[in-house]
Amino acid sequence: MTKNLLVWILALTLYACGSVYEDFPVPPASLVAQFSYEINQETREVTFVNNSIIPERAGSVTYTWSFGDGNTSGESNPTHTYQNYGEYNVKLVIIASEVSEIKETSSELALLQPINIDFTLFYMDTDFSLIRGVGQTSVDIDAGGFGAGIALDPVENKLYFTDDDNLQIKRVDIDGSNPEVVHEGLTGATNLTLDLENRKVYWTNRADGSVQRGNMDGTGTFETIITGLSLPEGIAYHDGKVYISDVDVPPIGENIYVANANGSGLEVFISGSWGYGMGIDPINERLYFGDQGVYDNPADNRIKSVNLKDKSDILVTTNLEAIGANGSRTYGIAIDPQEGHIYWGDRNGQKIKKANLDGSDVETLLVTEGTPRGLAIFK
């Protein structure tokens, strides 16, 4: 009897629960504006696909597209041809008659001229563990793992790069052939730079807060030349000096350090800098570096330069695009002193950009498939 009573109580409870959930009011579907697009870069024609969510209760709906170049459309899925290459902010506004709702959304798109450069630009695409070459040579090179540093040896036409996943320094011919492990058994490998005259490769090690170096041909054992840093990131070599950025919080972090080639004489070169990428203009003897001045201010991102002999003249070269909670970051900076250009990777924006060395005439050279980090040019 007790058993049967429990069964009946359970059955009634389940029925009652079912009735409650069936009678519970379901909130009406919301009006959501969203779209995607496909770009034909050669013709500058963009096909927009309206992916908006339109509930039945919305009634009749009108669409207004603003293409960012002064032109508009009221079609549901318009096609628009831009007259000029460039970057445009596209906005879609939806008005629903029955519910008196207005929803809008916007997205940036970039129409880029086909890359017409007389050299090869290499960058690390960390989303795909690839080194990609564009321009004079088009090539995808398997990096084997995550890495942020890349440097070019124009003497032997080889690319050196870090593989932090496999804790190795590697090199490969610029056409992607003859991959080699140069140094292995590391505890970390973040960014790197080359001393071509003395045939040394230097790299930062965030895991140990150190800077290490080894022979470029892989002979001998690598050595730790600087310790006591916190999160060393960017690194550049010039004229017997090594420059290192530390991206941790003060007092050790937010500084650019300088040391002799063997690691001795370490001192603060520039204080208050929180950045990743570094590059040297050897002709004008200037150091270019990323500077994320305030961590929680996404608009406070810049590339600066400073004279290596007189570090008092710090100049802002360009502001970085403010994307995401912490802005964007540039992990790769490459300098072409002969042509007077600077190239950098905008990680969050997924773009490679170019400007004159004084920061004028900024342009987007390439929209990358993944996030760009290390950068090098081969002429």
> pLDDT in tens for each of the 379 residues of the chain?
444 433 333 333 333 343 333 444 445 567 899 999 998 877 889 999 999 998 888 788 999 999 999 999 999 999 999 988 777 899 999 998 777 788 999 988 877 667 778 899 999 998 899 999 998 888 999 999 998 999 999 999 999 999 999 999 999 999 999 999 999 999 999 999 999 999 999 999 999 999 999 999 999 999 999 999 999 999 999 999 999 999 998 899 889 999 999 999 999 999 888 788 999 999 999 999 988 765 555 566 788 899 998 887 888 877 765 544 455 678 899 999 999 999 998 887 788 989 999 888 888 888 888 889 999 999 8
Q: Where are the domains of the chain?
A: 35-111, 120-378
Best CA proximity match to 164, nearest among 152, 178, 150, 179: 150
Compute the distance between CA of residue 354 and CA of residue 149 in angstroms, rounded to an integer: 19
Q: Which CATH superfamily is domain 120-378 in?
A: TolB, C-terminal domain (2.120.10.30)
Closest Cα partner for 207 from 164, 147, 256?
A: 164
| Cα 113 to Cα 353: distance, rounded to the nearest angstrom | 13
pTM of the model: 0.75
CATH superfamily for 35-111 is: Immunoglobulins (2.60.40.10)
Residue 105 tokens read as 């959304």
Q: What φ, ψ does residue 20 adopt, rounded to 5°?
A: -65, -45
